[in-house]
Each structure stands twice: as structure tokens, then as C-alpha cells.
Chains A and B, each alone.
Chain A
Amino acid sequence: MRPGPLTLWPDVAPQWILNLPDWLENIFFKFYKSFIFDDRYTMYLEGLRNTLLLTILALLMGIVLGVVVALVRATWDKNGSEMQGISKFVLKLSNTVCNIYLTVIRGTPVIVQLMIWYFVIFAKSRNKVMVAAFAFGINSGAYVAEIIRSGIMAVDPGQNEAGRSLGFGYIDTMRFIVLPQAFKAVLPALANEFIVLLKETSVAGYVGLMDLGYAGNTVGGNAMEYLLPLLLTAVIYLILVMFFTHLVKKLERRLRNSER
């Protein structure tokens, strides 16, 4: 059997720590157990890497999916009643599919969705990060779609008319004129969704993916010492969120400057 941390402690700890009063020495021992023994710090690093990877992949997928769904829904809401023939049928069908997607995804917990993707649909895949990124991307897309749709609906209809009167088609008007304004208007809400997503990926531990939250949990279990591992985990999440909030604020300020 490998020696445990308690056995090794007298050898690895410097003499001045061993000379400290018991309660103080105990804090150093807990630190040793939580981060140094068995190279446990590498688990947090791996967890951090997976959390970031998961969040970025899911974010990208969520935005692409969200814009497409938002466009379908907004187009149907605005123009559906005036359309005719095959294009009306296609749009109506797409709108129905989008509505089902939104209802199912927003109506079920992300943990359940993740487990269905991992244990049922992609049961053969062992690539946990890709499957989880897919699951979170599909999930996030539903929320992003509604955020972007609200932005599209909030843009003055006169903007659309001005674009169309210059000769732009519906898609180009969306691309050059409506979407940039909609995106700007909903940037704070999108940033919030991103932050929620970052924290939500911590349920990836349910399928055994070593994300940051699972790393904290695992080290805590191995060390039989939860305080420091979970504290560190929480601090890392907090720093990440504060960092991204800062970035978004900067971006917002830059976008707003263009109008002053």
C-alpha cells in the first residue's frame, strides 16, 4: 500500500512548521493534503481546462443555434401571415420545430439532458468533453434564441423598412442592419447567459467528466478534507466570472461609444 499523507507528513514538512502549535500545523497539513500530496493541484488544472473548453464550445454552438432559431421565429412572427405557398409552408414547419426545441430544452433540467445525451444517445462515445459540449450547446442555444429574438423584435420596424427601401433583401437587411442593432441591445443579457453557462457546466461531473467542480469534489473525497478544495474551486469560478464580466463591460462601452 502507498503511504498516505499522514505517514509522509513528518518527512515533507519543514521543521519550522512541525514546531508550530498543533492547530496551526494542522492548517498546513490540510493544505498539503488538498493541493500537494499526489500532485493533486493537477486535478484542478485539468478541471479548469475542461470547464473552459466546455464553456467556449457550448457558447459558440449556442450562439449559432440561437441566431438561427431566433431568425426563424422572428421572421415567422413578423411576416408569416403575409407569406404564401411553399415558402410559407417551409417557414411554418421550421417555426414549429423551433418551438418544440425551445419547449423541450427549456422545460427539462440540463442534468437530465446531459445524461440522456451521454448515456443514451451517444452511449458509444467515450469523448466526454465533446458530448457534454454538445449537450450544453443545445441547451444554451434555446436561451440564446429567446434573448436574440427579443433583440430583433425591439429594433424599430423603420430600420427594416429603410433597408428594404434601399433595395436590400430580407436576409441582407437582417445581416447589415437589424442583427447588429439587436445584438448590441441584448449584449448584457447574452453576457449573463454566458456566465450562467460557465457555472452550469459544473454538472458535467454527473457523467464523470473532470470539470472544475468535479475536481474539487474528487480531491475533497480523496483527501477526506473538503474545506480547502471546495473553497479553491469556488474562488476559481468567482475569478473567472469576474474576469468575463469585466471583459463584457469593456465591450459594451466600446459599442456604446460608437453612438456618442
Chain B
Amino acid sequence: MNPTQQKLLEVNNLSVSFSTYEGVVHAVNNISFDLKNGESIAIVGESGCGKSASMFAIMGLHNRAITRITADSILFDGRDLRRASENEMNNIRGKDIAMIFQDPMTSFNPVLSIRTQICEALKLHFRMNRKQAEERALELLSLVGIPDPKSRLDDYPHQFSGGMRQRAMIAMALACDPKILIADEPTTALDVTIQAQIMDLVKELQQKLHMSIIWITHDLGVVANIAERVNVMYGGYIVENGRAEDVFHNPQHPYTIGLLGSLPGIKGREGQRLYSIEGIPPVLYQPAAICPFAPRCEYRTERCLQENPPLISRNGTAEHHAACWVELRQQQGATV
């Protein structure tokens, strides 16, 4: 990684909260991260940890009526997205920042052909005419490896298999040469062999098209395969971040250690009990006054129940941080 790489996206102190019948839910709390040109990062966490909510906030996709988004800044290519008007956002969304989703079946419009759906963005953003758009659509479909694209162009989403549908969605996302691709659990609904195909495809396309990628996932295996840097989220907070090697080989937050330990590992250890984190993830009706992981944590100290720890630098590097008061040494459970 080149240290002089320019930051393409920089998010500072982003918070997202929703008004619900049960009260205000603080889904994302003061998270900061950045994405450099051509880099791929991952945001990992379990359902409800705020990983998708933070991405939706950046894209401006939340329902404004019930959502409150605050941030010091969300800088994309030097521009602050918080100040962008709806019109400007429409230009950025789908063009500069594109997104692919978990379930390709529900993210397509079932009553429109693939042709219509891919060409829509091209006509809108590039003012292409029908013929140009169709040519580009064909080019995109063969780029993502859909065999015989010409005959598939007029198919409807339900005529595609799960893997093909995800490819078509990637083609749609790439239509306008985005600078950033946000991949929100794009392989979760797929079988492992198809997942491997899609991950390979995205990595190949990233090289070819020089995109930056944010992967959102709960699958640590997927993260290890694709991400250079990792942000681990828990209860709406980033609890650990760092280079993938550091986070996987020397995890510093008890939650990360627990997550890695609860995986069965590909060799050895059969028959043994898995390390399990007792309890369930929290729903935060207020920003946490104490460490959000403390109730489930086995390293808990007095201080953890008094103050919520900020991200603290680990191992003397500026790249690896963990939000934990306890300094953990090389841990058991860290080896997979």
C-alpha cells in the first residue's frame, strides 16, 4: 500500500439514530474511517451493529422523516456530502458511488427487463441514446461474465440464477464507472462455490477499473480474502480497526477475539468446544455510557463499567486501534 495514496472518502464522527415506537435507537455512534484510492476495506459485524446503516447514511438513502444523521464531515473527493443538495447527491449516487446489495432478487425491479434497468442509469447519468446505452449494457454484461449477453438482455430478473443475478447487479453498479463500490453482503445469499466466483470477479474488476471498495459483511473468511484494512463494529461503534493481518493475527478487542475464536477453523480442533461469547448484541436506546461490550466481556474491569473507551492505538502503530481499556497481549483464540 502506498502511504501517499490520496484519501477518496473520509468519514468523521458519523452518528445515525432512528426514531422507533420503542424510542430512539442509536444505530451508529461517532464512527470515523477513510478509504484510499484503489483500496478495499471491510466493515465487519453482526446483524444490527450499524454497518449497513452507516453506508446508507453516506449514500443518503435513509428515510429522512425518522432518521437523524450527524457528522463532523463526510468528505468524498474533497467535497462534503453533508452539504450536497438532493440534486448533487443524485449525480453522485450510482455514478461516483455505487452499491450492490445482499439479495439480488429484491434489489431488482421484477417487472422490468435487465436491459431497461441497466440502461436507465446510463441514459440518466451520461445522456446516452438507446443504441449507445444498449451497446454499453452488452459490454458490461460480458465484463461480469454473463454468457451470451445478447440473448439475456431482454430477460427478467427471475429468469436468472442467484449467481447470475448478482453478476447482473454488479454490471448495473459498474455502469457509470464508479470510483467507490459499496458491497453490502453481496455473497451472503449465495452458495460457497458461487460466492467464490463473485469474490474473484469483484477483485478482478477492481484491478481492471481501479475502484475502491467497501465490503460490508459478517463473514470473517470473506474479509480475510478481500480486505486490506478492517473495521470491526459492535453496537454501533467501531471497536477495532487496522490492517487485516494485524486484526486477524493479533486481535486487540475482546469482541474480535471472541468472533475469531467462535469460528471452527479449517484445520484441527474438531470435537472441541467452540469459544462462545455469552449473551446477545445490544440495542442501544442511548449512546453507551460504558463499554457496549462490557456485559458480555470476560476481560471486564471496573473502568469498563464507568467509561466507554475510545479507539486507542495498539502495538505502537498508527494503524491498529482498539476501543478497550484492557491491554491484551498476544491472545489465545487469536490463532485460527
Are A and B part of the same complex?
no
